[in-house]
Amino acid sequence: MYCLTMKKTFLAAFAAVLSVLSSNAVQADVKLPAIFGDHMVLQQNQPINVWGWAEAGEAVAVTFGKSSASSKADAEGNWKVQLPAVKADGKAHELSVKGKNEIKLTDILIGEVWVGSGQSNMQWPLNNTHGSKEAIAAANLPNVRLIYVPRVQKPAPEKDFNAAWTTCTPETVPIFSAVLYYFGKKLNEDLDIPIGLIHSSWGGSPIEPWTVKGKTSGNMYNGMIAPLQPFSIKGSIWYQGESNVMRKNGLAYTEKMSDLINGWRKSWNSDLSFHFVQIAPWSGRYEPGQLPALWEAQVATLKLPKTGMAVVTDLVDNIADIHPHHLILRALHLVPTAGHRRPAQAIIAAPFNYLNLWPGQVRACIHPDNPQMLKPARDTHRHRGGHPRSQTNRADIFPVHLVWRRLYLVLSARLSLPLHAHRWALA
Here the CATH number for the domain that contains residue 88 is 2.60.40
Q: Are residues 153 and 214 in the same domain?
A: yes
Which of 382, 346, 388 has its CA nearest to residue 364? 388
Domain boundary among 340, 356, 387: 340
- Tell me whether strands 102-118 and 235-239 are parallel, antiparallel or unpaired: parallel
Are residues 215 and 75 part of one domain? no
Q: Tell me the residue type at 255.
A: E
Q: Is residue 187 part of a domain?
A: yes
**Cis ω before 399 (30° cut-off from 0):** no
19 burial class (0-12, 13-18, 19+ CB within 10 angstroms)?
exposed
Ramachandran sector of residue 6 (left: φ over 0; alpha: ψ -120 to 50; beta: rest):
alpha
Domain shared by 300 and 253, yes or no: yes
Residue 250 contacts residue 292 (beta carbons within 8 Å)? no
233 lies in a domain?
yes
Is 6 contained in some domain? no
Same domain, 242 and 168: yes
**Which residue, 286, 320, 340, sits at the end of a domain?**
340
Look at residue 244 and tell me if it is in a domain: yes
Whether residues 375 and 246 fall in one domain: no
Confirm whether 31 is domain-assigned: no
How far is Cα 208 from Cα 244, in angstroms, rounded to an integer? 9
Q: Are residues 99 and 127 in the same domain?
A: no
- Please indicate, yes or no, whether residues 173 and 202 belong to a single structural domain of this protein: yes
2 in a domain, yes or no? no
262 with 375, same domain: the answer is no
- 252/332 same-domain check: yes
- pLDDT one digit per residue (tens) for the chain, 427 residues: 444 444 444 445 444 444 444 444 445 699 999 999 999 999 999 999 999 999 999 999 999 999 999 999 999 999 999 999 999 999 999 999 999 999 999 999 999 999 999 999 999 999 998 889 999 999 999 999 999 999 999 999 999 999 999 999 999 999 999 999 999 999 999 999 999 999 999 999 999 999 999 999 999 999 999 999 999 999 999 999 999 999 999 999 999 999 999 999 999 999 999 999 989 888 888 999 899 899 989 989 989 999 988 887 767 778 887 887 666 666 666 776 665 543 333 333 444 444 444 444 444 444 443 333 333 333 333 333 333 333 333 344 444 444 443 333 444 443 333 322 222 222 2
Domain-embedded: residue 329: yes
Which domain covers residue 394, as residue numbers?
347-415
Residue 22 lies in a domain: no
Looking at the structure, tell me whether residues 246 and 295 fall in a common domain: yes
Closest CA to 259 of 210, 223, 201, 202: 210
Choosing from 340, 355, 389, the residue where a domain stops is: 340
Tell me how far apart the 2 most distant CA atoms of the chain are, in Å. 111
Q: Domain check: are 93 and 124 in the same one? A: no
The predicted model scores a pTM of 0.78
